[in-house]
Structures are given as structure tokens and as C-alpha cells.
Amino acid sequence: MQNRIEVFEQMLAADPTNSMVMFGLAKEYEKTGRHDKVIELIERYIAVADDEGNAYGTLARAYEASGDREKARAAFEKGVEVSTAHGHPSMANDYRMTLDLEYGND
């Protein structure tokens, strides 16, 4: 796993605005439980890429794992908006269901 992270880190160092590399690196860090790095990279990714919704779920779960339910909820809500706008109704419904089931009483 570490070798994949190192390769992605080198690729990102060579091209710091490459959104695909940012997302790939974030997913590698997600596998290792480095939620701080996932949050950092996905926020950078979202700032430069036209994400269709998937990154918001990744970001929300990283915020949940780090204990920040408020930011997790906001990420899921943004994920509903973005995935709907990009024509991904099942992703939007998944996020809505998560909001209802896991955040309905907050």
C-alpha cells in the first residue's frame, strides 16, 4: 500500500493541480485510515474538479471518521445537490437515505 501512496505523492509533486491524482491519492489514504489526508486531498480536489458527487461521499465519511458530524452532514447534502445536477439520482438517493437514517435526529 505504501508504494502506491509514494507513487501518487510523486505524481502529485510533479503536477500539483492534477485532480485525478489528488482523488486517487485520497482513496489510497482512505484505505489506510488517514482521514486527515483524505479530507485535505478531497477538499483540494473539489476546488479544482467538476466532481459528479462521489467525492462528497468520500469526504463525508472521512469527516465522520474524524468525529466532525456537522461537516459530514454538509458534505452529504452537497453530494445530493451535485449528484442530482449531474444526473446521478441513485447516488443522490443513497446520500439522502444516509442523511435520513444517520443524521435525522441531529
Q: What is the pLDDT of residues 61-75, one digit of tens each?
A: 999 999 999 999 999
Give this prediction's pTM.
Answer: 0.93
Q: What pLDDT is stored for residue 67 in this prediction?
A: 97
Q: Could you tell me the CA-to-CA distances from 6 to 25, 35, 52 in Å, in that order? A: 9, 17, 27
User: Any idea which residue has 510523486 for its cell?
Assistant: 10
Q: Residue 67 has what DSSP assignment?
A: T
SS (H, E, C) 23-55: HHHHHHHHHHCCHHHHHHHHHHHHHHCCCCCHH
Going along the chain from its start, the domains and CATH numbers come out as 2-103 (1.25.40.10)
Q: What pLDDT is stored for residue 2 in this prediction?
A: 67
